[in-house]
Amino acid sequence: MNTQKIILITILLLGFIEPVLATMHHEHMLMDEKGMIMNANTDKLPRDCDKISENVDMTIRAGQKHALRFNGKMYAFDNQEWDVKPCAKINITFINDDQIRHQLMIHGLPGYLYPEGMFHLELYGAGELRASLIMPGLKKTYLVHCELPQHAEKGMKAQLKVDGGDGDLPSIPGISAPVKADNYPVDWSQATVAILLLCVLAGIAAPFFVLKGLKLK
């Protein structure tokens, strides 16, 4: 087989394979080049629900700018708490305002309906995804967070309450106290104080020498 035929066959195969790879749809996962949706549920009722009690359209944004109102935090959702009725259907629009990956994961859901008890949205960069889930009837507080390394620790945590929830989760920015608060102690030894005073004096003196130098010129 000559080189031209090999190239032609390769082009034809790529033309067939690329659309297939563009969107991968497994039983519980939908993934493309933009992001991933896992365990979405639009119509299967939890066992303790006779019907959907309400439809809730919810937009959740993620990014660094939403963490600016929390001291020491790097990432956050634009809201840290939501409350819905038992058996509510939630239609989520997840928007990533950053150019890096962010996730929206809800944990503690019934495993018979949501494999591993999880609902998962993920964006590889700026963009948006839409997906729905139906909450059980149990009065409970569910963890919402980003599971990427250090994202939750740096502020990307929230809570979703059903029927007022069963209490606040720990370390939710602006809502509950951290399990272990960030602590940056300073060793105020004589050397530390001397260095601090030296820096202050240098900062006061620097403009004087700069102005003097300008006048000499």
Q: Is the distance from CB of 105 to CB of 36 less than 8 angstroms? A: no
Looking at 110-114, 168-172, 179-183, which range is the least confident one?
Answer: 179-183
pLDDT grade for 21, boundaries at 50, 70 and 90: very low
Tell me what pLDDT residue 26 has.
60
**For the chain, how big is the Rg over CA atoms in Å?**
26
Tell me what pLDDT residue 192 has.
78
Give the torsion through C-alpha atoms of 146, 176, 107, 137, to 10 deg. Answer: -140
Q: Is the distance from CB of 137 to CB of 87 less than 8 angstroms? A: yes
Q: Is the distance from CB of 42 to CB of 130 less than 8 angstroms? A: no
Domain ranges of the chain: 25-162
Tell me what pLDDT residue 7 has.
55
Express each pLDDT in 25-35 by its tens digit.
565 889 999 99
Cβ atoms within 10 Å, residue 155? 27
* pLDDT-above-90 percentage for the chain: 66
CATH class (in words) of the domain with range 25-162: mainly beta
Q: Is the distance from CB of 123 to CB of 146 less than 8 angstroms? A: no
Which residue, among 199, 104, 88, 116, has the nearest Cα to 147 in the 3D structure? 104
| Distance separating alpha carbons of residues 123 and 35, to the nearest angstrom | 4
Task: In the chain, count H helices and then E strands.
Answer: 2, 12
Q: 107 in helix, strand or coil?
A: strand
| Angle formed at CA 210 by CA 208 and CA 214, multiple of 5 degrees | 115
| Distance separating alpha carbons of residues 184 and 187, to the nearest angstrom | 10
Tell me what pLDDT residue 189 has.
81
pLDDT grade for 6, boundaries at 50, 70 and 90: low
pLDDT grade for 3, boundaries at 50, 70 and 90: low
Express each pLDDT in 61-107 by its tens digit.
999 999 999 998 999 999 999 999 999 999 999 999 999 999 999 99
Tell me what pLDDT residue 170 has.
95
Express each pLDDT in 116-140 by its tens digit.
999 999 999 999 999 999 999 999 9
Tell me what pLDDT residue 203 has.
84
More confident residue, 21 or 84: 84
